[in-house]
Amino acid sequence: MTELYEVTIPASGSVENVVITVWLVAVGDTLEKGDLVAEISTEKVDTELVTERAGRVVALLVEEGDEVPVGTSVCLIAPVDAPDDAVTAAVAARQG
């Protein structure tokens, strides 16, 4: 099965929750390591979420405006060369 990389909300000081302000990617986009994925907001600061891996965006797991806890998976990325049927199966298995 294709291994998916989960983009998660990183821990930062005493922050417990963040809001996904704007998605900067869409399903199907190809990313390089370090690319911006979303703008996020906390009680104290607005910042950007980046990916630590290259690949193809295959699922956005939360909506713009959603408040989510630190550690939440918000986006799934598959290898660029992964077959579509394998990606579909992996996303379905991940989303349960």
pLDDT at residue 95 above 80?
Answer: no
pLDDT value, residue 4: 92
Reference 38, options 80, 16, 66, 12; nearest CA is: 66
pLDDT value, residue 2: 81
In this prediction, residue 1 has a pLDDT band, given cuts at 50, 70 and 90, of low
Cα–Cα distance for residue pair 69/1, rounded to 1 Å: 28
pTM: 0.91
pLDDT value, residue 79: 94
Domain of 60, in residue numbers? 5-95
Which CATH number does the domain housing residue 89 bear? 2.40.50.100
Cα–Cα distance for residue pair 39/5, rounded to 1 Å: 19
Percentage helix, strand, coil for the chain under 3-state DSSP, each rounded to 5: 10, 40, 45
- pLDDT tens figures, 33-82: 999 999 999 888 899 999 999 999 999 999 999 999 999 999 999 999 98
Helix ranges, 1-96 (H): 84-95
Average pLDDT score over residue span 14-23: 93
- Number of folded domains that form the chain: 1
